[in-house]
Amino acid sequence: MSFADCFYTGYEMPKLTDMTNREIAEVFEQVADLLEFEGANPFRVGAYRNGARKISDLPEPLSAIVDDEQRQLTDIDGIGKDLAEKIGTLLATGSLPMLAELLERIPSTVLALLRVPGLGPKKAAILYQELGVNSLEDLRNVCEAEQVRGLKGFGAKTEATILKGLAVAETALERMRWVEADAVVTELLDFLRQHAGIKQMEMAGSYRRGCETVGDLDVLVEAADASAVMDHFGNYPEIADVLACGDTKMSVRLAHGLQIDLRVVPSESFGAALQYFTGSKDHNVVVRGRAKQQGLKVNEWGVFREDAQEAETYLAGRTEEDVYAALGLPWFPPEVREAREEFDWASQGALPQLVELADIRGDLHMHTSASDGKASLTEMIEAARARGLQYIAITDHSQRVSMAGGLDGARLRAQWAEIDRIRKEFDDIVVLKGIECDILERGGMDLPDDVLAEADWVIASVHYGQRQSREQITERILGALENPHVDILAHPTGRLINRREPYAVDIDQVFVAASKHGKFLELNANPARLDLHDIHCAAAKRHGIPIVISTDAHSPAGLEVMRHGVQQARRGGITPADVANARSWEKFRGLLEQKY
Ligand code: DGT
Ligand code: CA
Ligand code: CA
Ligand code: ZN
């Protein structure tokens, strides 16, 4: 597995110059994949892969080393003359001729194959050579025709794994992670706002509902002159294609493929349009049904009473509150508009007060440079204080994660001694001595009980053996939940949005065991994870298990992702009372000591 998977690395589009380490590492990863696909010498492939890993683990930008006359790139462990030269080229020009050549030789449809989880370049090459598999569509066909299982080195199980991975790869092509869409939205709204004629503007659709991925973006604008707004939008520099342009609606595609639907609506319909285009479709089906029962009609223009003479009287539409009120419904936070529980809550008059970012008082999962974090202990504490957190836990990796510099008992105790010293410098933040301890492949924890017993906070995590059978991985996780020193299970399903399927774990058994043993469950806020996902948050709540929303930060900037976790929790109907780290330090401590 790639350990980069568990970092938050930011999601900016690669720029052509001033490439970051991360972007350079990605280029080398891609070169390695393509070389491997072509059947290149494994040592050559390995050199690029190893280089990529070294680069993404580097604590300072490569550009700083290049700029420093006293230093050489080749001083970095794992970077030889060849890679050093290529880094120079990338930093100077933003591209690599070698990659361009590889991409010319290999059809672009084949590249998509390399992104199928569970496939990999070597297997993709065999499928290409033996069965002429050229695209995701071909791949699906040969799997469904059971032709793959007959190939040397493949079996029925591989075929099933590939089919599962295909679903992930296909979605990734169509749906963007929310955090990436968010970056697009920020820029887009800044641009639109430059037009003076815009009176109101809101994002609608899945973006507004805070879904973990979005298919396209929906923007609503109130303005007197629709065509002037659309002319302005047409000048947005990121537009690659105008797909449709009517009197009040325009659809475009941006260069990186995302579609944007813009609608201009009059003031008396702004709330109705916002309600309609926020969706979800299922939520709106129920809303329309409610209207009908009351002899009303609701659409993107407003709420209307249908009179006997086929005339319609406009009742509401200026604001969403008005629209819902006209139907006898409360205003629903967009995150819960999925036709799950929201209408039951409404009929009981008990809409939950959803958790907000401002409710969060502690952050109980973060790394330092002692393992694979980028900042020191003091820097992380300072950054958490600057965010106004009352308490944090320092939770570096345990020894099994050797690639990330995981700590053994001795190094961990040394870190705890340092925390004891540092604690005296800070009287306004509580720093817990924690550990993110791996659950070993064969079961059991990666550190002995006497070490874990000294910790204030023990996170149990699966990082290896993620593809074990349902029985095996469930057993492992239940074993960890039975350990008296473990406090919480991190990223309980292991999924990476658009990248990796969840473990086969029986999550219901996890809920039962967590609640029985008084363990917390993490909602990992990294926008690539968001694990627990929304329906599991709701399930944890039903089991009475407090959720801990954690950033899993690997740098001070990583603390920023808390907002994504909060958004996901809101989608699960989670209130501050359901979130352990929305409590004051004293209350949280009570919960921890009494195992809630
Ligand atoms: P997405 O874009 O796939 O991530 O998901 P949404 O929910 O943003 O869906 P989208 O963009 O197709 O439409 C935005 C909202 O507009 C949707 O949530 C509900 C509403 N809507 C769109 N088309 C229809 C429709 O045919 N019938 C109804 N009732 N509502 C629609
Ligand atoms: Ca949409
Ligand atoms: Ca749309
Ligand atoms: Zn972690």
Structural domains in the chain, CATH included, are 21-174 (1.10.150.110), 176-264 (3.30.460.10), 282-347 (3.30.210.10), 357-594 (3.20.20.140)
Considering only CA atoms, which residue is closest to atom 20 of ligand 1?
277
C-alpha 175 to ligand 3 mean position (Å): 12
Considering only CA atoms, which residue is closest to atom 17 of ligand 1?
279
C-alpha 256 to ligand 3 mean position (Å): 16
Which residues sit with their C-beta closer than 6 Å to ligand 1? Answer: 205-206, 214-216, 218, 276-277, 279-281, 284
3-state secondary structure of 489: strand
Tens digits of residue pLDDT in 433-490: 999 999 999 999 999 999 999 999 999 999 999 989 999 999 999 999 999 999 999 9
| For ligand 1, mutation pick of 182, 206, 300 (most atoms within 8 Å of CB) | 206
C-alpha 263 to ligand 1 mean position (Å): 13
What is the arithmetic mean of pLDDT over 412-428? Answer: 95
Ligand number with the minimum distance to the CA of 550: 4
Please report the atom of ligand 1 found closest to the CA of residue 211: 4
C-alpha 243 to ligand 3 mean position (Å): 12
Considering only CA atoms, which residue is closest to atom 31 of ligand 1?
281
Tens digits of residue pLDDT in 224-266: 999 999 999 999 999 988 999 999 999 999 977 899 999 999 9
pLDDT category, 23, cuts 50, 70, 90? confident
Tell me the C-alpha distance between 137 and 134, whole Å.
8
3-state secondary structure of 148: coil
What is the arithmetic mean of pLDDT over 528-552? Answer: 97
The pLDDT value recorded for residue 386 is 97
* Across 109-113, 285-289, 319-323, 372-376, least confident range: 109-113
What is the arithmetic mean of pLDDT over 155-180? Answer: 87
Pick 459 or 107 by higher pLDDT: 459
The pLDDT value recorded for residue 18 is 65
The pLDDT value recorded for residue 13 is 31
- Residue 421's alpha-carbon distances to 382, 478, 511, in angstroms, are 15, 36, 38
C-alpha 206 to ligand 3 mean position (Å): 9
The pLDDT value recorded for residue 115 is 79
What is the arithmetic mean of pLDDT over 168-186? Answer: 88
| Two tokens, residue 101 | 């050549």
Percent of the chain predicted with pLDDT > 70: 97
The pLDDT value recorded for residue 236 is 96
Are β-strands 312-316 and 302-306 bridged in parallel, bridged antiparallel, or unpaired? antiparallel
pLDDT category, 2, cuts 50, 70, 90? very low
Please report the atom of ligand 1 found closest to the CA of residue 214: 4
- Residue 510's alpha-carbon distances to 505, 513, 515, 523, in angstroms, are 8, 5, 8, 14
Considering only CA atoms, which residue is closest to atom 30 of ligand 1?
281
Does the pLDDT value for residue 219 go beyond 90?
A: yes
3-state secondary structure of 225: coil
pLDDT category, 345, cuts 50, 70, 90? very high
Tell me the C-alpha distance between 427 and 84, whole Å.
46
pLDDT averaged over the chain?
Answer: 92
The pLDDT value recorded for residue 398 is 97
- 8 Å CB contact between 492 and 524: no
118-132, 147-161, 331-345 — which one is most confidently predicted on average? 331-345
3-state secondary structure 36-94: HHCCCCHHHHHHHHHHHHHHHHCCCCHHHHHHCCCCCHHHCCCCCHHHHHHHHHHHHHC
pLDDT category, 12, cuts 50, 70, 90? very low
Percent of the chain predicted with pLDDT > 90: 78
Report the run of H or E that residue 193 belongs to, with start and end.
Answer: helix 178-193
What is the arithmetic mean of pLDDT over 354-377? Answer: 96
| For ligand 1, mutation pick of 173, 251, 277, 323 (most atoms within 8 Å of CB) | 277
Does the pLDDT value for residue 16 go beyond 50?
A: no
What is the arithmetic mean of pLDDT over 324-329? Answer: 98
The pLDDT value recorded for residue 92 is 85
Please report the atom of ligand 1 found closest to the CA of residue 209: 7
Tens digits of residue pLDDT in 347-365: 999 999 999 999 999 999 9
C-alpha 278 to ligand 1 mean position (Å): 7
Does the pLDDT value for residue 404 go beyond 90?
A: no
Pick 7 or 316 by higher pLDDT: 316
Please report the atom of ligand 1 found closest to the CA of residue 280: 18
C-alpha 310 to ligand 1 mean position (Å): 28
What is the arithmetic mean of pLDDT over 319-331? Answer: 98
C-alpha 55 to ligand 4 mean position (Å): 20
Does the pLDDT value for residue 594 go beyond 50?
A: yes
